[in-house]
Amino acid sequence: MILEPMIVNDDNLDMLIKTNSLEGISRLLLLQRVAADIDGWVDGETVASVGDKTLVTYADRLKDDKLVDEDGKVIPLKSFRYILRIISSAIRKKAAITLFVKDRVYLGKLFLFAEDLQSEETVANCIKVFRTAMDDEDLVDIVFNRYPNILNFFLYTIERWIGSSAVLGECVIAVRTAIEERRNLGILRPETVATFISHIA
């Protein structure tokens, strides 16, 4: 992708951030739909999507695009994978990860991607963003307050992607960080813990 040279070194990344270009790139993430964003059909009638409209951009430009395949599964946009790669690399800078956490829509959309899209690379990169935010002492409370069930979600993701070293690597680090916060231990679901233990035993 033509934008990848912007993240190859810290000087280029600094320029990307200072010119507010990173935020523009990040808005493109909201072009990608998840299942809840797409209208459905029941008995020949259109059923409006139930997704959060604030997590969707450029709705008018995607009206004629094919958003799902013949099986009803969401089709990733061609540029989506590359945009997410840029973001997952850019967050090595505090200004970048702060942008992602402070603007509620980005983490909200990434959470939906990790839950909804069947792509190993996508899920791993989404978890990486959450994990990086939790490693920052200025941002960790925001993540846990906004997503109080995040630890169970990481454990659930491990169960779904047990065969993926990329996803497991990000999730295990994220779980380790999350359980360091005692408040998270109180919301653990027994079934997710049991599943996690069975996979690592």
**pLDDT bucket at 126, cuts 50 / 70 / 90:** very high
Residue 103's closest CA among 9, 25, 37, 7? Answer: 25
Structural tokens at position 91: 């967050």
**pLDDT bucket at 196, cuts 50 / 70 / 90:** low
Whole-number average pLDDT of the chain: 79
Q: Could you give the domains of the chain?
A: 4-200 (1.25.10)
Query: Does residue 98 surpass a pLDDT of 90?
Result: yes
Query: Does residue 54 surpass a pLDDT of 70?
Result: no
The terminus-to-terminus CA distance of the chain in angstroms comes to 41
pLDDT digits (tens, 9 = 90+) for 141-183: 999 889 888 888 898 898 889 889 999 899 989 888 888 777 6
Residue bearing tokens 């909201």: 30
